[in-house]
Structure 1
Amino acid sequence: MRAFLVKRLLTLLPTLLFVSMLIFGLQQLLPGDPAKILAGEEQDPAVVAHLREKLHLDDPLPLRYAHWMGGVLRGDLGDSLRMQQPVGELVLQKLPVTLELAVLAFAIALAIGIPAGIASAVGRGRWWDALANGFALWGISTPNFWLGILLIMLFSVQLGWLPASGYVSPFEDLKANLAAMIMPAFVLGNAISAVLMRHTRGAMLQVLSADYVRTARSKGLPERSVVLRHALRNALVPIITLGALEFGTLLSGAVLTEQVFTIPGFGKLIVDAVFNRDYAVVQGVVLVTATTYITLNLLADLAYFIVNPRLRG
């Protein structure tokens, strides 16, 4: 396991280097001159020239990348010229919001998807199997922004139970925070739960037909013990991989949901930065998101050894 961990850590460095080059390179393809956009409507030539110098826009592309990467290695992601703040501070402000949303959405997805997948596999061909598959198809096919708008119309406009938008810190008012976050969390968790249900069902069906499961049943073990202790533990290996990937997707892919519910997280931050050509913010947020995504994959690989002892050899 130690050799495997060292090998995986060594692969992270070139991967992150490639990701940083990709982020920086694609950022340069955005149309428009960021210096002129930041200079405002008047676009004073002196101001534009100052901004081009400050952003190193007149330097060759490799030199600009080296300058940016040197700052990243020192822990400096640059400064947002639009908001006049270091990008690191903006990340620390917005990350807890998106992280809370992702955790709540993932908890909803696990609470729905895993039990539904197990029940569907155990009751294959029965009415609840068809119901679970219908739910999965609905969850995968429903656009997040459309479901979000429907929930706002029902629970906010018609019933008046929940706020339509906004965000309240849990440290200020936990009840108001949960009221504001439950709808966007359900919107995101709904799609993830459908994917988890389908993968759980497939993994469980494969494991339930294995010889060791038939042996456990022949020994007279209770069906609950056979399903949860013997079958589910081995079926969790591919589900862990999927869960890590989906959680990373929640951190990076909640843009539309955050926009619909006006949640000041990573999604809204990066959308505003793209429209304002705030290069440093876009590069910093995407780099942090990519690093988190890669780290989650590493944690998923390590979880294999905990869940499945056969992989430790």
Structure 2
Amino acid sequence: MRGHLLRRLPSALLILFIASLLIFAVLRLVPGDPATSLAGPDAGPATVAAIRDRLGLGDPLALQYVHWIGGLLTGDLGPSYAIGGQTADLISDGLGATVELTAGALLFVVVLGTAFGVLGATARHAWMRGTVRALTTGALAVPPFVSGVVLVLVFAVLLGVLPPGGRVSLLTAPDIGAQYLLLPALCLALPSAAILGRYLKDGIEHVLAEDYVRTATAAGVRPRRLLWRHALPNALPPVITLLGMQTGQLLGGAVLVEAIFAWPGLGQLAEQALNRRDYPVVQDLLLLLVTVFVLVQLTTDLVHAWLDPRIRWE
């Protein structure tokens, strides 16, 4: 396992390096000047120039990139241009909320995706299989900004059983925090759960069609035992890989869901930083997202290899 991880590490570092270059370059191509935005519409050229010098925006781009990477490596993310405060503090304040939302959504993805996959592959009645197919199709077809509004209208406005937005930390009040988490986590999880369920359904059906499963069925092995001891474990490796990819999608989709449900996470911070052209905050947030995605992929590969004996550890 260690050798496999060491072989993957250089490619992961290369991806992070290329991502940092792209993030740095693309932000500088966006129209607008942070110094002009900070100075205000009535500021003169001298004021704008002074702000550019103070923020280091007048330095060569290569030097700005080196300063940024050096700060990341030493843990000094520097101050925010426009929002105020230290970038590290801003990110740490929103990171807990985003991690909480993503973890809750991931739990929904696993539970709903497994239910969709197992029922879709093993249901005896055509109406049940059709219901699962309709649910997964609807979850894929409806975008989060629509499903989020529908969830709020049904559960918060009509039924009044869940709050429409905001956040209470699970660490401070687990019972109340869970109520605030349910709707945004479900909204974020629905498309990924549908995708996972369809992949799992196809995998289970493929395994159940294998000759050894038919032989075991003819020998009198119970269908439930075949499903949980043979079909599901053999269908899991590609689904685990997909789940790792969907985790990255959940982090990216959290930006929109946080805006819908007024969830105070990294999504709201990213929106504020983009609107104000706050380069340090945006750069660090985007690179953090890429880093998490790379780490999730590495972990997924290790779990995949552990589940699939055909993958050798060399």
If the length of structure 1 is used for normalisation, what is the TM-score? Answer: 0.94
- Stretches of structure 1 that go unaligned for 5 or more consecutive residues are none
Shift of the alpha carbon at 1:244? 0.8
Q: Is the 8 A contact 2:102 2:251 kept in 1?
A: yes
1:244 paired residue number: 244
Q: Is the 8 A contact 1:252 1:266 kept in 2?
A: no
Deviations 1:16-53 (A, max 9, x none): 10011111111112111111112234335454223212
1:273 paired residue number: 273
* CA RMSD of superposed structures (Å): 1.7
2:299 paired residue number: 299
1:215 paired residue number: 215
Q: Aligned partner of 1:84: which letter?
A: G
Partner of 1:310, secondary structure, is coil
Shift of the alpha carbon at 1:208? 1.6
| Distance of 1:124 and 1:287 partners within structure 2 | 47
* Comparing 218-227 and 292-301, the one that deviates more: 218-227
Q: Is the 8 A contact 1:98 1:265 kept in 2?
A: yes
| Distance of 1:243 and 1:172 partners within structure 2 | 29
Q: Is the 8 A contact 2:78 2:86 kept in 1?
A: yes
2:80 paired residue number: 80
Alignment partner of 1:19 is 2:19: yes
| Distance of 1:78 and 1:216 partners within structure 2 | 63
| Distance of 1:165 and 1:44 partners within structure 2 | 42
Q: Aligned partner of 1:110: which letter?
A: V
The number of residues matched between the two structures is 313
| Distance of 2:2 and 2:298 partners within structure 1 | 13
- Stretches of structure 2 that go unaligned for 5 or more consecutive residues are none
1:179 paired residue number: 179
Deviations 1:109-153 (A, max 9, x none): 211111221121123782222111111110000111111112222
Q: Is the 8 A contact 2:188 2:253 kept in 1?
A: no
Alignment partner of 1:168 is 2:168: yes
Deviations 1:245-275 (A, max 9, x none): 1112111221111111111111111011100
2:112 paired residue number: 112
Q: Is the 8 A contact 2:144 2:187 kept in 1?
A: yes
CA change 1:225–1:288 in 2 (3 A) is same
Structure 1 runs, 4 residues or longer, greater than 3 Å off: 44-47
Q: Is the 8 A contact 2:121 2:202 kept in 1?
A: yes
Partner of 2:167, secondary structure, is coil
Map 1:51-90 onto structure 2 (within 5 A).
51-90=51-90
| Distance of 1:165 and 1:40 partners within structure 2 | 33
Q: Aligned partner of 1:118: which letter?
A: V
* Comparing 203-212 and 250-259, the one that deviates more: 203-212
Q: Is the 8 A contact 1:120 1:201 kept in 2?
A: yes
Q: Aligned partner of 1:238: which letter?
A: P
CA change 1:301–1:130 in 2 (3 A) is same
Q: Is the 8 A contact 1:233 1:308 kept in 2?
A: no
| Distance of 2:225 and 2:113 partners within structure 1 | 20
Equivalent pairs: percent with the same residue?
A: 39
Q: Is the 8 A contact 1:167 1:263 kept in 2?
A: yes
Q: Aligned partner of 1:214: which letter?
A: R
| Distance of 1:168 and 1:123 partners within structure 2 | 39
* Comparing 43-52 and 274-283, the one that deviates more: 43-52
| Distance of 1:96 and 1:111 partners within structure 2 | 23
